[in-house]
Amino acid sequence: MSKRIMPKGFTLMELLIVIAIIIVLAAAVFVALNPAKRFADSRNARRSSDVVAILSALKTQQVDNGGSYLASVTALTVDVPYQIGTAATGCDSGCTGVTQAACADLTGLQTAGYLGSVPTDPTAGTAAETLYSIQRNTSGTVTVAACTPESAAVITVSR
């Protein structure tokens, strides 16, 4: 009786099938996680945190000064949005809805200790043009908003 020796290992076909299954599973996981959306959500969370920090610092400064806003905020035209920044002109670019060329300079909040630094947008903001806007209305309510939120989000806070 002859003994048949079975080869040990996998056939090429078995290996190809396993590799194909792994590729399909990896693609499904990648699509399910959607890293681009996760990054956009993360940047929007930072924008939301930044607008709350700006408005909280501004309101704390107002309370500490007997109801008076920072001079640069008091100087803003009522019901007109301004981009927050330090540029002398050009603040009407990059910020949707802002038509004023002058920036609203909030560095006074930083020098007075209400903010560590004036926040800037995580994608393209600079100290000169933060890509955050501020608007004061006749009743004294201040609105701070993010100019460039992603994924059709609206990030605005009023007090």
What pTM did the predictor assign? 0.82
Is the Cα dihedral 126, 131, 136, 141 positive or negative? negative
Give the helix ranges, DSSP H, for 34-97.
35-64, 71-74
Contact 37, 153 (CB under 8 A): no
Contact 43, 122 (CB under 8 A): yes
Residues with pLDDT less than 50, the chain:
none
3-class DSSP state for residue 143?
strand
Structure tokens at 7: 């080869």
Predicted pLDDT at 1: 63
3-class DSSP state for residue 97?
coil
3-class DSSP state for residue 84?
strand
Predicted pLDDT at 157: 96
